[in-house]
Amino acid sequence: MALRNRLLLFLLALSTSTALAQTRGGALTIRTTLISPLIALLAGILILLVPRVLNYVVAIYLILIGLIGLFGV
């Protein structure tokens, strides 16, 4: 429960100007328009830090972006 509250506070702190997350009656709604740039940023940092995992990072990135596009996570 504490982890959920920390995650909620983190997402709400990020959302001060970009409206990344909203709360409605205790439920958390995350806007998908900002998820793919965050995934791309994390993937790019991981590739820079550990270039040997490039194939895995690209594969995971493509799968996640595809799922977000299909299901609107």
Residues 5 and 38: their CA atoms lie apart, in Å, by 21
Residue 68 clears pLDDT 50, i.e. is over it: yes
Instruction: Look at residue 16 in the predicted model and tell me its pLDDT.
Output: 46
Mean pLDDT of 17-25: 56
Residue 45 clears pLDDT 70, i.e. is over it: yes
Mean pLDDT of 43-48: 86
Per-residue burial over 5-44, b if 16 or more Cβ lie within 10 Å, else e, is eeeeeebeeebeeeebbeeeeeeeeeeeeeeeeeeeeebe
Q: Which residue has the tokens 């709360």?
A: 23
DSSP, collapsed to helix, strand or coil, labels residue 19 as: coil
Instruction: Look at residue 57 in the predicted model and tell me its pLDDT.
Output: 86
Mean pLDDT, the chain, rounded, equals 74
pTM above 0.75, yes or no: no
Give the DSSP H or E segment for 23. strand 21-24
